[in-house]
A = this chain, B = another copy of it.
Amino acid sequence: MSKYKLICTNCQEEYMEETINFRCDSCNEPLELEEVREGSIKEGNPLRQGVLERYQDFFPYLEIDKDLSLQEGFTPLISSKALGEEYGIKLYFKNETTNPTWSFKDRGTITGIIRAMNLGYKKVGTVSTGNMATSVAAYGAKLGLETYILVKEGIAEEKVNPIAIYDPILIKVDGDYSCLYDESLAIGHENGIYFINSDAPYRVEGYKTMAFEICEQLDFQVPDYVIVPTSAGGDIRGIEKGFREFLNVGLIDKLPKMVAVQAAGCSPIYNAFKDNKMKMDRVENPNTIAHAIENPYPPSGHQVLRMLKRNGGLALAVSDDEILKAQRKLASQGLFVQPASATSLAAVEKLYRDGLLKEAESVVCILTGSGLKSTKTLEEHRLKSYGCKLDQLNEYIKKVGR
């Protein structure tokens, strides 16, 4: 296995080997694997093939073994004619809720954890209270690794149990949660734990496969926009890199414009973007129902700003009301997602109202996680149901029919 370079996304400093440092020693900005420039899609039947096997040319630095995986990826790309017509565009939803732990995180967990194993680690960990905690706990269990999940003291018990069922070492940490990201890397270094946090370089790599699948599913017709709910920034970085690598090898002939969407109650990347700044300010009092993307100072935020500038992309913020409305609208298409994921459709609505979408342009929304992850939010909707006695059911149905 030849060595691949990690390059600082900011100062371009190069690192020949990554062990447990995920950020640049000089400027503390995130590192990124050098771009793949040669390769193709492996022939084969996705029913008998893992996603990493199919795209293995784009992971030259991983020792891939199909038996390690829970068969993440190969998720549906759903075309919504009804909503597309409403906006005069071609609208697609990449349904990441059908992954093994029901969020996109699995794609990055598998690449991160394979890297940890390739380096000889027996212990892995993550800092997360939601999708990533579940994902790392699941893969850690599957692979027999000692798995540390660091969550915030005070987390609701209903969120803890679906993580704890995988039997990780689950620690509720009392203190300034925003320090945990850096703290975990230091602790991991000292204790031989490979922390696969939100924007760890080998996690970000896994997200490339969303781009690869979108290209295949659209017959290599690159969409005009790809909209990504954005928190730490790992997700949108990985997807954009995937498109870049398919462009490098000639599988596609342009890049889509990337759109980072955040909740208005916690939008540090958008706040900087709208003021044309390259540095974020920390959000002091985050407040949104979209908890899965409620990060007041995203570790890859600056790199997302740099990437959007290079890419010609956009950052947007949407309100909780807009998020709830989009959640209902997605459900009307048979897609029940968590509030954070609904920001992507709310962004389409905003782009449309602002006149930024041209007739017949194509837009892909990433639906990051299942609605079952946060059923509490459903109380925000006034959802209808009826009641009647069995012997009156026939008459009742005639009455309530639409």
Q: Which residues of A contact B (CB under 8 A)?
A: 45-48, 67, 70-71, 74, 76-79, 81-82, 95, 97-102, 123, 134, 138-139, 141-142, 144, 146, 148, 150, 153, 158, 160-162, 164-167, 169-176, 179-180, 183, 186-187, 190-191, 193, 213, 216-217, 219, 327-328, 331-336, 370-373, 375, 378-379, 381, 383-391, 393-394, 396-398, 400-402
Contact = CB atoms under 8 A, between A and B. Distances in A.
A394 B191 contact: yes
Contacts of A134: 336
Given A98-B98, A191-B398, 4 more contacts: A165-B327, A167-B332, A167-B384, A370-B372
Given A383-B165, A389-B175, A74 B46 contact: yes
A123 to B, nearest CB: 8
A382 to B, nearest CB: 10
A397 B148 contact: yes
Nearest to A148: B397
A150 B379 CA distance: 21
Contacts of A70: 76, 78, 95, 334-335
A388 B148 CA distance: 13
Nearest to A164: B383
Contacts of A71: 76-78, 95
A366 to B, nearest CB: 15
19 contacts: A45-B46, A45-B216, A48-B217, A67-B81, A71-B78, A102-B370, A161-B379, A162-B336, A162-B375, A162-B378, A165-B381, A167-B383, A167-B384, A171-B400, A172-B386, A172-B388, A174-B390, A175-B390, A180-B390
A150 B388 CA distance: 10
Nearest to A81: B67
A376 to B, nearest CB: 9
B335 A172 contact: no
Given A216-B47, A373-B372, A170 B386 contact: yes
A379 B158 CA distance: 9
Contacts of A384: 164, 167, 170
A172 B387 contact: yes
Contacts of A328: 165, 167
Contacts of A187: 393-394, 397
